[in-house]
Amino acid sequence: MRALFIGGTGTISAAITRQMLTQGWELYLLNRGNRNDSLPEGAHILQADIRDEEAVARLVENLQFDVVADFIAFEPVQLERDYRLFRGRTKQFIFISSASAYQKPLSDYRIDEGTPLANPYWLYSRNKIACEDFLMKLYREEGFPVTIVRPSHTYDERSIPLGVHGKGTWQVAKRMLEHKPVIIHGDGTSLWTMTHNSDFARGFIGLMGNLHAIGEAVQITSDESLTWNQIYEAIAAALGVPLKAVHVSSEFLDACSTEDFRGGLIGDKANSVVFNNAKLKRLVPGFAATVRFDQGIRQTIDHVLAHPELQKEDPEFDAWCDLVIQALDNAVKAVRG
């Protein structure tokens, strides 16, 4: 079986790449080559910028694929390009959408593939919805063999998954290590799902070349539900420090920040979500997410602590956290008189 990944080195795709190379796939990676040195040997590298359509067309001119997957498409115009490049050249085209595209606010916290797609809070999610609409129209009208995959919050060993953070996530861990308070949105009791990228990869590979997945949208997540308080407690425990949490409403955080907290929080992480993965398990018999979050986050913390290059500080976010926490303290004092 021959596959082409556009990207192939990100949080999600790197894990899929690693697993596929142990399973006998003939794998091609189309990317700019910036992170390929971190991948195991065995993949065929097609080095190019996907935005250079003419150059890519020359690279794939004599190639046919069982699967083409685009991990870095975010807008319909990018999929229009993919369609021109790979129409008639692949038996399956997989688009990586996002579970953030699901209805916000939710009418039911239990989510499956039938949950409506509508997110007025986040342009990223609306663009993903538009991408899905474009591809499904091609499937209905021309038989273009599309499969849509919807990940939720997927993490790897290189970055600590969090709710409220700045340009990266290390600064929150640094605050914990310095015994400083960290911000949790809301009261920390809303439910969330964290999926380890190795679990995601198994589900994804099970959909590749799967004739039952053509024309379908499938979410891939863990079945484990955690509150944000539990998530931050697990991170603190992995760091070996007590958690000093300050709970702040998502609306207040959005109003106080220049970051896109409106989309990322109000349009996503502030909502309780519990995913029903029955469809995935029907399409991929035997699939199960096996990495419990408290176990996976220990692997992530150990890796980040062992690699100083991943510990990128964000002093602006650090100062912003202090300002928000001080503002809450001042408000309490003002109300109490």
Burial of 1 by CB count in 10 Å (0-12 exposed, 13-18 middle, 19+ buried)? middle
Q: Cα separation of 165 and 198, whole Å?
A: 24
Backbone angles phi, psi at 110, to 5 degrees: -85, 115
Q: Which pLDDT score, from 0 to 100, does residue 258 have?
A: 73
Residue 21, CA distances (Å) to 3, 36, 213 in order: 11, 14, 22
Q: Which pLDDT score, from 0 to 100, does residue 102 have?
A: 98
- Contact (Cβ atoms closer than 8 angstroms) between residue 233 and residue 243: yes
Q: Which residue has the tokens 């239990």?
A: 110
Q: Which residue, among 189, 194, 335, has the nearest Cα to 250 in the 3D structure? A: 189
Q: Cα separation of 332 and 181, whole Å?
A: 17
- Contact (Cβ atoms closer than 8 angstroms) between residue 238 and residue 172: no
Q: Which CATH superfamily is domain 2-155+194-220 in?
A: NAD(P)-binding Rossmann-like Domain (3.40.50.720)
- pLDDT higher than threshold 80 for residue 337: no
Backbone angles phi, psi at 2, to 5 degrees: -115, 130
Tell me the pLDDT tens digit for each residue of 147-193.
999 999 999 999 999 999 999 999 999 999 999 999 999 999 999 99
Average pLDDT score over residue span 17-27: 92
Following DSSP, what letter does each residue of 34-51 receive, concatenated?
SSGGGSPTTPEEEES-TT
Q: Which residue has the tokens 């602590």?
A: 305
Q: Where are the domains of the chain?
A: 2-155+194-220, 170-193+225-273+292-336
Please tell me the pTM assigned to this model: 0.95
Q: Residue 235, Cβ neighbours under 10 Å: how many?
A: 25
Tell me the pLDDT tens digit for each residue of 274-312.
999 999 999 999 999 999 999 999 999 999 999 999 999
Q: What CATH architecture is 170-193+225-273+292-336?
A: Alpha-Beta Complex (3.90)
Residue 320, CA distances (Å) to 138, 161, 164, 327 in order: 46, 19, 12, 10
Tell me the pLDDT tens digit for each residue of 98-150.
999 999 999 999 999 999 999 999 999 999 999 999 999 999 999 999 999 99
Where helices occur in the chain by DSSP H, the ranges are: 11-20, 53-59, 76-86, 123-142, 170-177, 197-207, 228-239, 250-256, 261, 278-283, 293-306, 315-336
Average pLDDT score over residue span 83-107: 96
Tell me the pLDDT tens digit for each residue of 245-262.
999 999 999 999 877 789
